[in-house]
Amino acid sequence: MKLPTTEEIIDDLGFFDDWEERYSYIIDLGKDLPAMDVALQTPSRLVKGCQSNVWLDVDIVDGRLQFEVDSDAYIVKGLLVLVLAAFNGKTPREILNFDINNYFQALDLERHLSPTRGNGLRAIVAKIRAIAEASEAA
């Protein structure tokens, strides 16, 4: 799957008139996300703080972090695509410098998520940022 860019996602979401259409778009993004190998869906890869199960794996290729993610909920898989658009294939410094709050505000996202989904989204971002910090320090 070729991930959309953050700019493409912002533009695409801006095209829709209401949040029901935007949710459908996000769910469709999640349906296109390749499934993670079941062997990688281990407790150590589970992101704590998410209502749904979310698994996160990372490889470093040429100094760039390549994430593989999965969830047992399509809406969460769609949210993972939004996060991957911001972070996947970036250097640790690029990840740490990216203004994720501004991105989420541009998507008008958190206002439309349940508190538990919003907390899960923040937990995913925090986990990725922690990985970037540890990778940069290594």
Residue positions annotated with a catalytic role: 50
Kind and range of the H or E element at 132?
Answer: helix 115-137
Instruction: Determine contact, residues 88/128, Cβ cutoff 8 Å.
Output: no
CA dist., res. 54 & res. 130, Å (int):
16
CA dist., res. 23 & res. 109, Å (int):
10
Closest CA to 121 of 66, 73, 82: 82
- E strand intervals along the chain: 54-61, 64-71
